[in-house]
Structure 1
């Protein structure tokens, strides 16, 4: 075992603490302080899958006992802990394995959406990343981790290219990503690449014992990136971090510079036309005043 009992308990405890501490973000959607958009649906699905994976690993390591027998051989484990216990461990092991792999896909999707936003959702970039993410989902079913590391590296390189070599005028989103967003891309890549390399170099070792910590860490990092950029608003179409244009229903959104962005409303109706009678009367009144003033001057 690469990660012993204490390491797994510590990691799952930290992930649960991080989950409950950030629950106010989900609560803001229920109270309609923030508007739910499709990038947030992916974020919430990743959070739910991560929580289910954590509970399955807790049941596997803490409630049902050590997992070492089933790792070596299911036939051998049936003679050690019994057939029914082995089937129960196998079901939790399958859920934990699929959950840890799918969690990495949700983390990659969070990063991919932010990379698409940097390129203002250009069709070529969107098609490229969508095809790669679909391939990643296909390979997750086959429990192949190396593709996740390659895809995370590709997204990080695309983000670096946009941030370091802007061919057009920099927007506020690019400046914000340069300040603190790129760190999360690097952390996700540095978490997944060593895990994939270690599993590829050392065959026969249990993937979940290595991949689960890496997957959970990458999900927490990408979720923190989503929350960091959720309060950033721009009027351009490249901002799908939270919602288009506005992420709050009420009150108006205020950027870091203090500029208030109000929700677009219907065009203001033109001022009512002055009735002809009122116009003539006003002209007549002004004319009479001017005429009387001239008479006084002549006198």
Structure 2
């Protein structure tokens, strides 16, 4: 289609109708995802699970996008005059913030995988600050109230918007490469490492493709509506996969016994005594060996196969399991604050 035809009144009306229908469809998808996962949020709000600082970014990302979508629906469905500029300014900032917070969630995992190595943490923090300097640029679109039609986007700053999404793609690529370097070469992958690798790869692919599509339409700049029509799908895709990755990691420790190491080089792994589960009618509960009973609250939690010791019933009693060689195959880093997820600390 010739470029001039994208700016005709008929084409703009068609694009606006498509935009409205797409936004309602995407809002329904995200609201379904949001409400079906509220039990996870409520567990922390009600105190059933201990709330730790990394979840701040998870919560902010979810709720920023939730309220941004509500604002978009209000702007699209309003039948009485509203302040369209204020609504779309809020929607833009909240939606872009959700994209930035999704990237932060992935970068926190990468910092943890690298055991909070300052050579990794400091550059990533600087990259995050650069990302947010673009996100908080200010008003990047202009919207007006048109009688009989409602709120309409009349102008967009495509250069800054495109730069923000391109930066997001490069940011996600960077943290994914760092994770792959650390995790991919392991001789034997624990279930935890597999989850980290798989979820990180899925997040990167989904977010990268969604952001690439949005950026392409911003660069083409066919008209004010088509330039931003795929921004919301990109934000929703990034937020959903990032939040699911956080929930999977957080729930991982609740599905089986946990073990910890004193450091990434100690090579000593013991079952946490808090589990104290009898694994079969002739199995035994396990405890840390007496030489390794020091409480390490920020250790590395790793999913292991359940071990049982078969004994005669009259000799059934707790015994320690010698897993001296397990540490080198299972731990993924030294103790880090990310352990406070109450999921798997990396």
When normalised by structure 2's length, the TM-score is: 0.59
RMSD: 3.2
- The answer for the alignment partner of 2:202 in structure 1 is 183
**CA radius of gyration, larger in:** 1
Q: Secondary structure at the match of 2:97?
A: helix
Match of 1:223 among 243, 248, 258: 243
Corresponding residue for residue 210 of structure 1: 230
State how far apart, in whole Å, the 2-side matches of 1:235 and 1:103 are: 33
- Number of aligned residue pairs: give it: 230
TM-score between both structures, scaled by the size of structure 1: 0.67
More helix by share: 1
8 Å contact 1:56–1:96 — kept in the other structure?
A: yes
Map Cα deviations across residues 44-75 of structure 1 (whole Å, 9 max, x no partner).
Answer: 1111111111111111112358xxxxxxxxxx
Provide the rounded CA distance (Å) in 2 between the counterparts of 1:208 and 1:186.
Answer: 21
Match of 2:37 in 1: 22
Q: What is the aligned partner in structure 1 of residue 211 from structure 2?
A: 192
SS at match of 2:252: coil
C-alpha separation between the residues in 1 aligned to 2:62 and 2:197? Answer: 26
Task: Classify 1:94/1:253 alpha carbon distance in 2 versus 1 (closer, same or farther; 3 Å).
Answer: farther
* Larger RCO, structure (CA 8 Å, separation 6 or more): 1
1:93 aligns with 2:88: yes
Q: Which runs of 5+ in 2 are unaligned?
A: 1-14, 138-160, 254-258, 265-273, 278-284, 297-346
Kept in 2: contact 1:191–1:214 (CA 8 A):
yes
1:66-90 deviations in whole A, cap 9, x for unaligned?
A: xxxxxxxxxxxxxxxxxxx4x7111
List 4+ stretches of structure 1 deviating above 6 A. Answer: 259-262, 264-267
Q: Describe the shift of the 1:162–1:57 C-alpha distance in structure 2 as closer, same or farther (beyond 3 A).
A: same
Tell me how far apart the structure 2 counterparts of residues 163 and 38 of structure 1 sit (CA, whole Å).
24
Which deviates more from structure 2 when the two are superposed, residues 130-139 or residues 108-117? 108-117
Contact 2:213 2:230 in 1 (8 A): no
Report the more deviating stretch, 191-200 or 224-233.
Answer: 191-200
Q: Gaps spanning 5+ residues in structure 1: where?
A: 66-84, 240-250, 268-299
**1:42 maps to 2:57:** yes
Q: Give 1:154's aligned residue.
A: 174
1:61 aligns with 2:76: yes
CA distance in 2, matches of 1:260, 1:202: 64
Tell me: CA distance 1:127–1:64, structure 2 relative to 1, closer, same or farther (3 Å).
farther
| In structure 1, C-alpha distance between the alignment counterparts of 2:246 and 2:230, rounded to whole Å | 25
